[in-house]
Amino acid sequence: MIRFESVTKEYPDGTIAVNELSLTAPTGKITVLVGPSGCGKTTSLRMINRMIEPTGGRILVDDRDTSTIDSAELRRGIGYVIQHAGLFPHRTIVANIATVPLLLGWDRAQATSRALELMDRVGLPRSFAKRFPSQLSGGQQQRVGVARALAADPPVMLMDEPFSAVDPIVRDQLQDEFLRLQGEIGKTIVFVTHDIDEAIKLGDQVAVLRVGGTLAQLAAPEELLARPVDDFVADFVGRDRGYRTLGFRNAAFPTRAEPTTRLGATEADARAATGDPWILVLDDQDHPLGWVERERLDGPVTREALHRGGTVAPTDGSLRQALDAALSAPSGRGVIVGPDGVFVGTVRARDLIEPIEASAGRQHVATPEGVGVVSQSKAD
């Protein structure tokens, strides 16, 4: 069991990322933290394994105050999976998965056989063992990330948007396999996502956070759908979910011109591009790389300064993909690319509402009772 007791994180620049958060993640269950970009999900997750230290309150793992546990010892019991899998590019798949067991002093044969067994578990053919990460698809790399986190059989798993960067169909498969796997292994999982559908599907309980790092509601998925505590939750869970259930429909949506800067640009050039708090960065071939935050920029635009959160949607993709891009971008502007990955423009969630409603026809009407309608469709 993991318990947050009035946990606060104030960064040195005064940003309050997490504010008096109290919640319990029960043993053997999946607790999902969901909310818009910047609401403190990653910060909350990283405070559990002390990659980030809280500035107030405390976190208990199985009734032990984590601040009193040696951080190396703490992390041995906690697997960690991130969005782009974070694999070592120059190590084979089997070596990537065996990393932690080898660090723990297992002998090589033992670590390898454990890694191969985990490949079976997460649905990777053993013939991939000697490949390198770049030779696998995004979805396969995420499976490797999950296998690696499970290698030392930690009782706790922290997962930070592990399936967000893969396309919606692969994401669905990964979610299904993840639930099947959890049925076998029963870990205590804290799972972070900005995608309410994913939260509803995976969570035994779901914590909805709002920007400023406060807890809006903690409830089982059915409860959240049926009885959101306030307009923020109703909006996030209900209306947004109503739109999201439209799934993979394609429909034209407008993109807007977006001022951009380039990797390597001087601070002055980057600032001159736009007065907006978020500036989009492209590479030499006009591929979007991420956003830089105006306030934090103190020098040229480097890879380290990039905020890489957020999915990218193709011009010929679905409304769902475009909405996902808009909701996951720190700027609130979803990045849209052409078939060659070249930047086209951005789209805001509100620009998508009209095409979404038009594409839904009379099927979907956003009424205050919409939440009830949505929970019905969930039961189908």
Site track for Mg ion across 205-224, x = CB under 5 A: --------------------
Query: Is residue 93 part of the contact set for ligand ADP (CB under 6 A)?
Result: no
Task: Specify the residue, 43 or 255, whose C-beta has the smaller distance to ligand ADP.
Answer: 43
- Residue 86 gets the label, from left (phi > 0), alpha (psi -120 to 50) or beta, of left
Instruction: Tell the smallest beta-carbon distance from residue 74 to Mg ion (Å).
Output: 21
CB 87 within 8 A of CB 133: yes
Q: Which of residues 26-45 bind Mg ion (CB under 5 A)?
A: 42
Task: Specify the residue, 37 or 140, whose C-beta has the smaller distance to ligand ADP.
Answer: 37
Q: Which of residues 295-314 bind ligand ADP (CB under 6 A)?
A: 309
Among 4, 38, 157, 360, binds ligand ADP (CB under 6 A): 38
Among 32, 39, 312, 337, binds ligand ADP (CB under 6 A): 39
Instruction: Tell the smallest beta-carbon distance from residue 290 to Mg ion (Å).
Output: 13
Task: Specify the residue, 39 or 319, whose C-beta has the smaller distance to Mg ion.
Answer: 39
Task: Specify the residue, 214 or 274, whose C-beta has the smaller distance to Mg ion.
Answer: 214
Total residues at interface with ligand ADP (CB under 6 A): 12
- How distant is the alpha carbon of residue 149 from its chain centre? 16
Q: By beta-carbon distance, which residue lies closest to Mg ion?
A: 42
Instruction: Tell the smallest beta-carbon distance from residue 309 to Mg ion (Å).
Output: 6
Binding partner at 203 among Mg ion, ligand ADP, none, C-beta below 5 to 8 Å by kind: none
Binding partner at 319 among Mg ion, ligand ADP, none, C-beta below 5 to 8 Å by kind: none
Query: Is residue 15 part of the contact set for ligand ADP (CB under 6 A)?
Result: yes
Query: Is residue 43 part of the contact set for ligand ADP (CB under 6 A)?
Result: yes
Instruction: Tell the smallest beta-carbon distance from residue 17 to Mg ion (Å).
Output: 10
| Long-range pairs of 257-264 with CB within 8 A, sequence gap ≥ 24 | 257/345, 258/333, 258/343, 258/345, 258/346, 260/288, 260/343, 261/292, 261/301, 262/301, 263/289, 263/301, 263/302, 263/303, 264/300, 264/301, 264/302
Summarize as ranges the residues that interact with Mg ion (CB under 5 A): 42
User: Which residues would be at the binding site for ligand ADP (CB under 6 A)?
Assistant: 11, 13, 15, 17, 37-43, 309
